[in-house]
Amino acid sequence: MKERTGFIGLGNMGLGMARNILKAGFPLTAYDIREEPLRAIEGMGGERAKSPREISERARITFVVVLNYPQIEQVLLGEQGLQGGVRAGDVIVLMSTISPVQVKELAQKLENRGVQILDAPISGGKEGAEAGTLSIMVGGDKPAVERCLPMLQAMGKNIRHLGGVGSGMSMKLVNNLLVAVNGLAVAEAMTLGKRAGLNPQAILEIIPKSAGDSWMFRNRAPQMVSRDFTCRGELDILVKDLTYILEMGQALKVPLFLGAVAREVFQVASRMGWGKEDDSAVVKAVEMMGGQNQR
């Protein structure tokens, strides 16, 4: 019989991920502060919990996909947090992007209870979460990783164990540095091409067959042209991740010039009220600074 799984955070990414765990045949108990996604999980045969603590009382492996570090702290260590019901041998898998230092601190706080923390941040956006094709970068104890592997395989197609606790987050921050810098480059390129009088559709057709192609171009430039900024990867989350990236660079004495510029431009977009839109909305900040109208 497959092991009961806990899942906390049924948002933009989490709901699709939890659905795929259920589709793979794992009994699942979920928690979220919102009613609608909990009803969706119940409709697929899952169970709901009233608190993170209730999750840890029912499941021995729990996946956490919430927004930021304060939410993770509340989920793990709050009054109704997971720590209230955990037992020796339990595994908590943190899939939200936080800093490697924060992951290690949380792992230390729970190790005396016999609880293991894995950091397993994800890449692939909402589309990958729904399709079960995420890239999952895992750090932590190898036996715990192997125990969680069947659930991870339900959510992703490219799963890599990178080393000890914190290594998954380090890899995710390396990835998101490229995401941010490349996303900003796409925004600048599309704005430049438009100002030069090029047909945006021609840019969309030619670049994927040229050396300037990238995943970010193929998945973000069409949204910049159509002005469809429906959230697939929230802009404010990328601002948060860029802060972690620059802190990591500072701690390791690695200069991150492009990362610093990217954070400033993404912050401008956030301050203009576009933070809850897709990260492709950074193009509006580039256009604004270039004197173009945005909508």
Q: Which superfamily does CATH assign the domain made up of 5-163 to?
A: NAD(P)-binding Rossmann-like Domain (3.40.50.720)
Overall residue count recorded for the chain in this entry: 295
The reported pLDDT for the residue numbered 294 is 64
Whether the predicted pLDDT of 289 surpasses 80: yes
Active-site choice (126, 157, 172, 276) = 172
Task: Report the pLDDT averaged over residues 65-72.
Answer: 94
Please give the helix or strand (H or E) that residue 107 lies within, else none: helix 100-111
The reported pLDDT for the residue numbered 100 is 95
The reported pLDDT for the residue numbered 126 is 87
What CATH number does domain 170-289 carry, 1.10.3720.10, 3.40.50.300, 1.20.120.450, 1.10.1040.10?
Answer: 1.10.1040.10
Domain ranges of the chain: 5-163, 170-289
The reported pLDDT for the residue numbered 148 is 97
Closest CA to 80 of 62, 54, 47, 59: 54
**142 a catalytic residue:** no
The reported pLDDT for the residue numbered 241 is 95
pLDDT digits (tens, 9 = 90+) for 210-232: 999 999 999 999 999 999 999 88
Grade residue 168 by pLDDT with cuts at 50, 70 and 90: very high
Strands 122-123 vs 134-139: parallel, antiparallel or unpaired: antiparallel
Helices and strands (H, E) in the chain, number of each type: 13, 9
Question: What is the rounded CA–CA span in Å between residue 149 and residue 13?
Answer: 19
Task: Report the pLDDT averaged over residues 74-98.
Answer: 95
Whether the predicted pLDDT of 18 surpasses 90: yes
The reported pLDDT for the residue numbered 232 is 85
Whether the predicted pLDDT of 293 surpasses 80: no
Strands (E), 105-177: 116-119, 122-123, 134-139, 156-163
Closest CA to 239 of 164, 286, 176, 188: 176
